[in-house]
Amino acid sequence: MAKADVKRALDRVLTWPPERQADLAQVVALMEAQDSSALSLSPEQADEAWRRLAVPDAKTITLAEFGERMRKRYRVRRS
């Protein structure tokens, strides 16, 4: 993205409602904190993370799915 593109995007941001501008400011602050963090992945670790994200493990389920399976198995009603 060229500097001119960034400038146009920031000009548009100034037309947003104050709450949305605050959201963007928070995202920028998080990005800056991430850049200055001592924690980081090696290139090999990053490649492995991307590989795992690209090929989801069929054996993995979400906590909500697990809870639903347990409710069905043990015939527990939601409260």
Q: What is the mean pLDDT of each run of 10 residues along the chain (79 residues)?
A: 94 97 96 89 90 77 89 81
Residue 23 has what pLDDT? 96
pLDDT of 47: 92
| pLDDT at residue number 20 | 96
pLDDT for position 7 = 96
Query: Mind giving me the DSSP string for the chain?
Result: --HHHHHHHHHHHTTS-HHHHHHHHHHHHHHHHHHT-S----HHHHHHHHHHHHS--TT---HHHHHHHHHHHTTPPP-
What residues does each domain of the chain span?
A: 3-73
The pLDDT, as a whole number, for residue 1 is 83
